[in-house]
Amino acid sequence: MVQGIIGKKIGMLQVFRDDGTVAVVTAIEAGPCTVIQVKTAEKDGYNAIQLGFGEAKRLKSAQRGHLKELGQFKHLREFRLDDIKEVNVGQKIDITLFQAGDKVDITGISKGKGFAGVVKRYHFAGGPKTHGQTDRHRAPGSIGSSTSPGRVFKGKRMAGHMGDQQVTARNLEVFEADPARNLLLVKGAAPGGTNSLLLIKKSGRKK
């Protein structure tokens, strides 16, 4: 059974419940997606399906050959499956997969923040503001020892490019699924900015 779908982030908003309380949700245009390819363990080494989402204006000849007569899709993404017997090429996948109360994992590309220092990037406290210290308020401090080891270890938290990385928000709760509008409302924040691509999968974890 298909466990995921491709979507596009619309934005965030507040929704009032029947009892008057407010829920902050992320609105996602989820699907409909078309099954482009079915991969099997015998032929490809693993079981998966490839879904197409969004309409592309132009396609290269290789893309047209791959998509055949299924349509012009802007985004193609794979989803691993344990059982692919019930899935066929050309099948439509929509948000009827999800119901209110389901837990989902949403994967996307986080917002890019450009070059950032350690205070913004890793929430360092910075140096002292007095006792003769100057120009050290947002500095990282010492980054290594002297003779031993005589180098800076890889992965040291330092200033650099912030954001613009693949992020997965796990165990988000589905607030509402509206198949008529292909609209999925999920409690909390999903990664990425407006109109960014998201992969929504049923969560395999429990809190």
In a domain, 149, yes or no: no
Q: What is the DSSP letter of 144?
A: -
Identify the residue with better confidence: 44 or 109: 109
In sequence order, what are the beta bridge partners of 92? 34
Q: What are phi and psi of 104, to 5 degrees?
A: -130, 155
> Is the link from the previous residue into 32 a cis peptide, with omega within 30 of 0?
yes
Q: Which two tokens stand for residue 63?
A: 């893309």
In a domain, 38, yes or no: yes
What does the pLDDT read at residue 113? Answer: 94
In a domain, 15, yes or no: yes
Q: Which of 76, 7, 1, 3 is nearest to 35 (CA)?
A: 76
What does the pLDDT read at residue 84? Answer: 81
11 and 31 share a domain?
yes
In a domain, 132, yes or no: yes
Q: How many domains is the chain partitioned into structurally?
A: 2
Confidence of residue 22 (pLDDT cuts 50, 70, 90): very high
Mean pLDDT of the chain: 90
> How many CA atoms are closer than 13 Å to the CA of 62, on its beta-carbon side?
0
Q: Which two tokens stand for residue 54?
A: 């969004």
Q: Are 116 and 160 in contact (CB under 8 A)?
A: yes
Q: Which two tokens stand for residue 86?
A: 């019930």
In a domain, 121, yes or no: yes
Angstrom distance (rounded) from CA 202 to CA 177: 14
Residue 125 sits in which domain range? 113-142+155-162
Q: What are phi and psi of 137, to 5 degrees?
A: -65, -35
The most confident of 58-62, 85-89, 154-158, by mean pLDDT: 154-158
Q: Which two tokens stand for residue 61?
A: 């000849």
Angstrom distance (rounded) from CA 78 to CA 157: 33
Residue 43, classed as helix, strand or coil, is: helix
Q: Which two tokens stand for residue 41?
A: 């363990």
Confidence of residue 205 (pLDDT cuts 50, 70, 90): low
Angstrom distance (rounded) from CA 180 to CA 20: 25
8 and 107 share a domain?
yes
By residue count, the chain amounts to 207
In a domain, 42, yes or no: yes
* pLDDT tens readout for residues 145-165: 888 889 999 999 999 999 999
35 and 9 share a domain?
yes
Residues 6+ apart with CB under 8 A from 7: 28, 29, 30, 31, 53, 184, 197, 198, 199, 200
